[in-house]
Amino acid sequence: MNSPVEFRRAAVEPQFLEALRQRFGDRAQTGEAVCRLHGSSESHFAPALPDAVVFATSTQDVVDLVILCAANEVPVVPFGAGTSMEGNALPVCGGVSLDLSRMNAILAVNAEDFDCTVEAGVCREELNQFLRDTGLFFPIDPGANATIGGMASTRASGTNAVRYGTMRDAVLALTVVTAQGEVIRTARRARKSAAGYDLSRLYVGSEGTLGIITEVTLRLHPIPEAISAAVCGFATLQGAVDTVVQSIQLGIPMARVEILDDMQIRAVNRWSKLELPEVTTLFFEFHGSTASVADQAEMVSGVARENGGGNFEWATTAEERSRLWKARHEAYYAAVNLRHGAIGWATDVCVPISALPACITETKADLATASVPATILGHVGDGNFHVIFSIDPTNPKEMEEVEAINARLVARALSMDGTCTGEHGVGLGKQEWLKQELGEPAIEVMRRVKHALDPHTILNPGKIFAL
């Protein structure tokens, strides 16, 4: 139902598992519980259990594992924090789930160059805690406390992308283990380079299908002199979206601008114990000098007023601000938990900003007849928004209904020159849509690259496209 094809499970011999134990000791595990943990996702995909889980602690571990897997034609599927949304890390063909979460060293911070190098298993919140005293921060924020390696693999973005870009922009260089077990460094630390093919960007977003990222060099940004956050409720969804589009078109450099529709606010109020008015609401954050922040806020609140927005409610202290953004970060869980025991399904279209008002209002109208609770939540400054469905996993009719709504939503976005996935990646869920988005000849280019770099298809098989 939720997999595009039936996957063939690789044959994993007892000798292979024995070889894993010999090389990795108790860092190679085959227990039911650990396999189940690495074979489940935070979304609606059926579990797919690995034959073993290996916890790497070094790039050399990854090299040795890849060589062992290659020799035995066993799949190897990188796993970070397990927070991806399209089943990107599910070992659908079995094999080894390569858990990189113990590779969590921060290797270097070059404050004067605004960059740092971390192991792939470092989580973004820990990185920002570590950086606090340097006056710098790492802006990419997909909501979940994902690993940097996972965020690079899925080309993650999130709330700050409207100002600071996505992982595509944040990655300066990568250390990658190839399917041949070679270790490569994709670039040096210079801010720009024209030195051959852009290998960093080739691996960013490749979801572990072309190589395994073990270290990431990231661009950092100075913590702004002033940060201020506000929420603003709107009489209509259209008014909220128009506020965003007009503010973007005025060139106001908002650091964050998030939409939460009335249903999403209701979910957030319940989950995070807030008392926001249950109407479509924009969450803003402004970064800059004190003067510039005041300037931006004044301009945006003027635009909001013209579009039926209420007063800006300011979160002036760091505590209020983090309470607000914590609620925003938990919005996915809040939405899923509108029903007890439900599972989540998040859509992920992104359209040119001028098409956003039509796309989002048509989608809201489509949701009006849905039998499943559904919220709208989005990084609207980028033209990217999610519908989050709260599905009863025991009711297959609900899954069908949601599939149909999602199909209409993606078709709508594609008709507006948008994409089926702004930030979650293709994984298992967007493979059919990717074909419609880019066409078979473009997929064939991707397939050629995949075959060239991973000729025996051991790296995260079954993802992005059928081979």
| Interactions with its own copies, residue window 346-385 (CB under 8 A) | 348, 350-354, 382-384
What is the C-alpha to C-alpha distance for residues 63 and 79, in angstroms, rounded to an integer?
A: 16
Nearest to its own copies of 239, 288 (CB atom) = 288
Among 8, 36, 132, 188, binds its own copies (CB under 8 A): 188
What is the C-alpha to C-alpha distance for residues 198 and 95, in angstroms, rounded to an integer?
A: 30
Q: Name the percent of the chain in helix, strand, coil, to the closest 5.
A: 40, 20, 40
101 closest CA partner among 46, 139, 53, 52? 53
Is 5 a binding residue for its own copies by CB under 8 A? The answer is no
What is the C-alpha to C-alpha distance for residues 355 and 1, in angstroms, rounded to an integer?
A: 31
Nearest to its own copies of 370, 438 (CB atom) = 438
For residue 299 the two structure tokens come to: 């301009």
What is the C-alpha to C-alpha distance for residues 120 and 204, in angstroms, rounded to an integer?
A: 12
Is 59 a binding residue for its own copies by CB under 8 A? The answer is no
Nearest to its own copies of 31, 455 (CB atom) = 455
102 closest CA partner among 89, 75, 124, 120? 120
Nearest to its own copies of 385, 389 (CB atom) = 385
| Residue 4 DSSP label | S
Question: CB of 189 within 8 A of CB of 430?
Answer: no
- Report the Cα 426 to chain-centroid distance in Å: 11
Q: Collapsing DSSP states into helix, strand and coil, what is residue 87?
A: coil
C-alpha distances (whole Å) from 368 to each of 329, 363, 376 are 25, 9, 12
- Residue list 226-245, contact with its own copies (CB under 8 A): 245
Site stretch for its own copies (CB under 8 A), options 31-39, 204-212, 260-268, 272-280 = 204-212
Question: CB of 360 within 8 A of CB of 353?
Answer: no
What is the C-alpha to C-alpha distance for residues 100 and 147, in angstroms, rounded to an integer?
A: 9
For β-strands 171-177 and 28-29, DSSP reports them as unpaired
Nearest to its own copies of 75, 142 (CB atom) = 142
Is 298 a binding residue for its own copies by CB under 8 A? The answer is no
Site stretch for its own copies (CB under 8 A), options 41-49, 272-280, 398-406, 451-459 = 451-459
Establish how many alpha carbons lie within 13 A of residue 432's alpha carbon, considering only the half-sphere containing its beta carbon: 10
Among 60, 249, 316, 322, binds its own copies (CB under 8 A): 249
Handedness of CA 169, 170, 174, 180 (dihedral sign): negative
Among 328, 419, 428, 459, binds its own copies (CB under 8 A): 419
For residue 193 the two structure tokens come to: 């380079």
Among 190, 235, 365, 467, binds its own copies (CB under 8 A): 190
Nearest to its own copies of 295, 330 (CB atom) = 295
Among 13, 18, 113, 298, binds its own copies (CB under 8 A): 113
For residue 109 the two structure tokens come to: 């911070």
Binding map of its own copies across residues 61-100, x = CB under 8 A, - = no contact: ----------------------------------------
Nearest to its own copies of 19, 355 (CB atom) = 355
Is 133 a binding residue for its own copies by CB under 8 A? The answer is no
Among 126, 198, 362, 392, binds its own copies (CB under 8 A): 198
Site stretch for its own copies (CB under 8 A), options 29-37, 122-130, 304-312, 414-422 = 414-422
Is 175 a binding residue for its own copies by CB under 8 A? The answer is no
Nearest to its own copies of 239, 373 (CB atom) = 239
Is 127 a binding residue for its own copies by CB under 8 A? The answer is no
**What number of other Cβ atoms are within 10 A of residue 293's Cβ?**
19
Give the H or E element holding residue 116.
strand 115-119
Among 21, 102, 201, 456, binds its own copies (CB under 8 A): 201
Binding map of its own copies across residues 303-342, x = CB under 8 A, - = no contact: ----------------------------------------
**What number of other Cβ atoms are within 10 A of residue 225's Cβ?**
12
For β-strands 96-99 and 52-55, DSSP reports them as parallel
- Residue list 258-277, contact with its own copies (CB under 8 A): none
CB of 295 to its own copies, least distance (A): 7
Is 219 a binding residue for its own copies by CB under 8 A? The answer is no
- Residue list 143-172, contact with its own copies (CB under 8 A): 154-157, 161, 165-166, 168-169
